[in-house]
């Protein structure tokens, strides 16, 4: 019951941010021609920004720094190429918030079918599967997220919890080790690692 409450809280934690960065106003430095013939650096792509932030997160010196990076990463995750995708996902979250899980699942099924490259749809649906105690399906969606985006620490966190719930401590241990590399300051990850090591390898003398 505890994992259902935990993961449902993640699933319902607000709507998806759909706003894109506004273009620079006319006459601003970003719109001006390069000075003295210097080439203006190209803006980062979504994938490039994520890889940079993932790298910084894996080396974050403290939890406060990690939290700032997590906020930036989650904002990028929430950006969809389609306003329709954002609308559908927001409606799914609203339905789940009202405990109308069947309707929420219908919206999420549509999101994942129409936008199979957008990880957020699969990630959110995985949490809903956990609420419905459909753990095998939850694992399938979480692994789909990680196949598309190996650095997705939320999917790693969810996978650890689901595997533990299913009694698959050895598999969970391997996943939490990967999580610790990606997000060393993931809340509770260090304690989970210790617990799983004791469960799998036994307590030291």
pLDDT tens per residue, range 142-193: 999 999 999 999 999 999 999 999 999 999 999 999 999 999 999 999 999 9
**By three-state DSSP, how is residue 108 classified?**
helix
Q: What is the pLDDT of residue 42?
A: 77
pLDDT at 11 over 50: no
Average pLDDT over residues 87-105: 96
Q: Which residues in 181-195 are b (16+ Cβ under 10 Å) and which e?
A: ebbbbbeebeebbeb
151's tokens: 């650095």
- Provide the pLDDT confidence category of residue 1 given band limits of 50, 70 and 90: very low
CATH for 43-201 (3.30.390.50, 1.25.40.10, 1.10.630.10, 3.20.20.140): 1.25.40.10
Q: What is the pLDDT of residue 202?
A: 81
pLDDT digits (tens, 9 = 90+) for 15-63: 554 433 333 333 334 444 555 556 666 788 999 999 999 999 999 999 9
pTM: 0.80
Q: Where are the domains of the chain?
A: 43-201
Q: Rounded to 5 degrees, what angle do the CA atoms 139, 140, 143 make?
A: 80
DSSP annotation of 20 reads P
């Amino acid at each position: 019951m505890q994992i259902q409450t935990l993961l449902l809280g993640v699933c319902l934690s607000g709507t998806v941010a759909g706003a894109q960065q506004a273009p620079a106003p006319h006459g601003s430095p970003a719109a001006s021609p390069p000075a003295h013939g210097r080439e203006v650096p190209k803006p980062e792509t979504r994938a490039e920004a994520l890889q940079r932030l993932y790298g910084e997160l894996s080396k974050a010196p403290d939890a406060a720094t990690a939290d700032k990076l997590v906020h930036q990463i989650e904002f990028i995750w929430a950006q969809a190429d389609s306003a329709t995708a954002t609308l559908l996902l927001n409606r799914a979250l609203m339905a789940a918030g009202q405990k109308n899980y069947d309707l929420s699942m219908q919206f999420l099924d549509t999101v994942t079918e129409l936008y199979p490259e957008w990880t957020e749809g699969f990630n959110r649906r995985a949490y809903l599967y956990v609420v419905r105690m459909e753990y095998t399906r939850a694992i399938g969606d979480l692994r789909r997220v990680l196949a598309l985006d190996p650095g997705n620490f939320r999917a790693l966190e969810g996978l650890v919890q689901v595997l533990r719930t299913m009694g698959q401590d050895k598999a969970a241990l391997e996943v939490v080790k990967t999580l610790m590399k990606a997000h060393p300051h993931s809340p509770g990850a260090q304690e989970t690692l210790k617990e799983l090591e004791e469960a799998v390898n036994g307590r030291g003398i």
